[in-house]
Structure 1
């Protein structure tokens, strides 16, 4: 699969839709961002009434997941006081977010993008991000292409 086919705009929008659908089902109000392998924004959505920090935090969670090649809820453990990555959140001009809601998209060992969700509780953000990641996985498995 080529890099171009791994994260299309159509796929990114479906990721956003899946994350929002999960948020609606659990009663959360979120913002959702999808970034490519370089951490560049591909798609973004914000539910009506979602918190004001979401448009910053959601893209930064996705960026963090791509840049560090790990889900942000897993990174949080490593960046905690005494952890091997303690202080990470102070780098990248403060753009690294070390709490849950960012999940990378992997094809084998390659990270080809990520989803970031912000606005709910940490478990809600993680659940919504997982829903987005599952939508991405379905899209690439079925060979979806932009129309």
Structure 2
């Protein structure tokens, strides 16, 4: 085999230090807001990189936070944007995506982008959709990857 021929490509992913820093910053924002939430960070393949469960956070929100991060990482779209994104598709596509295991189409999941490249996803669950998204944004803002305030 020719040494110049490659059958693989490199893929960047969020490092454990960044994942833990983002989770910690998100938890601090949740505490500031008075919300008890679950926070998940995943790599581009949707594999868990960091997780925080705050005392009192809803038990079912553990998996929802992970699935929000997974959805955001897999598609590169904030989970809050899926309602609008699906409007332009056929009923079959809308129904099919919404029935997919682990697919979440409500707020609280954001892709983690560095230099325009997707390196993971963050998902927050346990507060309102607006709180979950604000908490996720705070986690990414702590890394300098997104503005804390989207306005």
Normalising by the residue count of structure 1, what TM-score does the alignment of the two structures yield?
0.82
Pairwise CA distance, 1:83: 4.2
- 1:128-143 to structure 2, matched below 5 A, reads 128-137=135-144
Contact 1:29–1:49 (CA under 8 A) maintained in structure 2? yes
Secondary structure of the residue aligned to 1:106 is strand
**Comparing both structures, which one devotes a greater share of its residues to helix?**
1
Secondary structure of the residue aligned to 2:46 is coil
Aligned to 2:56: 49
Secondary structure of the residue aligned to 1:136 is coil
Pairwise CA distance, 1:7: 1.5
- 1:112-123 to structure 2, matched below 5 A, reads 112-123=119-130
Contiguous gaps of at least 5 residues in structure 2: 1-9, 146-151
State how far apart, in whole Å, the 1-side matches of 2:131 and 2:21 are. 19
Bigger-Rg structure (1/2): 2
Match of 1:86 among 77, 94, 99: 94
- Backbone CA RMSD of aligned residues: 1.8
Q: Which structure would you say has the larger RCO, counting Cα contacts within 8 Å and 6 or more residues apart?
A: 1
State how far apart, in whole Å, the 2-side matches of 1:64 and 1:7 are. 16
Normalising by the residue count of structure 2, what TM-score does the alignment of the two structures yield?
0.80
